[in-house]
Amino acid sequence: MKQIPLYKRILLKMSGGALMSDEHQPLDPVVIDRISKEIQAIHQLGVEIGIVIGGGNFFRGAALSKVGINRVTADYMGMLGTMMNALALRDAFEKNHLPVRIFSALAVSGVADEFHQLKAIHDLEKKRIVIFAGGTGNPLVTTDSAASLRAIEVHADVILKATNVNGVYSDDPAKNKKAILYKQLTYKEVLEKELGVMDLSAFCQCRDHHMTLKVFNMTKPGAFLKAVIDPKEGTTVEN
């Protein structure tokens, strides 16, 4: 039986930590290959895929600023970390014969193309996987905000936010075994319950532009594909 995707165009938001090994090496080839194969399965359904990747496995601006590095400089270092992750993903996709293109918010001639909205939409329409690197190109802004911005710019149907839990809970499930997993929430409910779904400015941007948000567990094999075809997978947040 053919699987029918819920969405035509998605924006996957991954943290850099999703690419790390259990030994805390910044890049794990086995993990990256698994992610590539899961994306390949979704690509074969005809879904148009954009990706925003964080850089926390290499650098976190807030953490670097605590050890004395200027916060703006630290954030630019974090943006370069997202570029390294984008290159690693591109290499894995190409090995699996997936068409892919990197757009960067920072000018890095010879490494990636500078972000251009219409070109990104064109590539998505041509079924190329588009990786958005460099965050928004501005310091003091998280990659959550980059995800909300790019999703709105390329007219994505949904932001799929990859985490290491099964969705949005009433409390931290690692600390509270009685925490409730929500399957459906409104943006208003998330704010009222003070649930930490994503960076607040990015969250409000999604709300104001009526962007659907789905939170799912990227570490669970097959969950990414299920998030695309099964409305019950993860937690969906809508207006």
Q: Report yes or no on 45 lying in a domain.
A: yes
What does the alpha-carbon distance between residue 42 and residue 218 come to, in Å, rounded to a whole number? 14
Tell me, yes or no, whether 2 lies in a domain. no
| Domain extent for 172 | 9-238
Per-residue pLDDT at 1:
64
Residue 33 forms part of a structural domain: yes
Q: Which CATH number fits the domain that encloses residue 136?
A: 3.40.1160.10
For 227, list phi and psi in degrees, rounded to 5.
Answer: -65, -25
Q: What tokens appear for 78 in the block?
A: 């974090």
Give residue 228's pLDDT: 97
Domain count, the chain: 1
In a domain, 224, yes or no: yes
Residue 209 lies in a domain: yes
CB-CB contact of 139 with 78 (8 Å): no
pLDDT digits (tens, 9 = 90+) for 51-99: 999 998 998 777 787 888 999 998 999 999 999 999 999 999 999 999 9
Taking CA atoms, 114 is separated from 77, 108, 198, 206, 211, in Å, by 18, 7, 26, 24, 25
| pLDDT given at position 196 | 85
Q: Which amino acid is at 223?
A: A
Q: Is residue 81 part of a domain?
A: yes
Q: Is 163 domain-assigned?
A: yes
pLDDT (0 to 100) of residue 24: 81
Low-confidence stretches of the chain (pLDDT beneath 50): none
Is 4 part of any domain? Answer: no
Q: What pTM was estimated for this model as a whole?
A: 0.94
Q: For all residues of the chain together, what is the average pLDDT?
A: 94
Helix count (H) and strand count (E) of the chain?
A: 8, 11
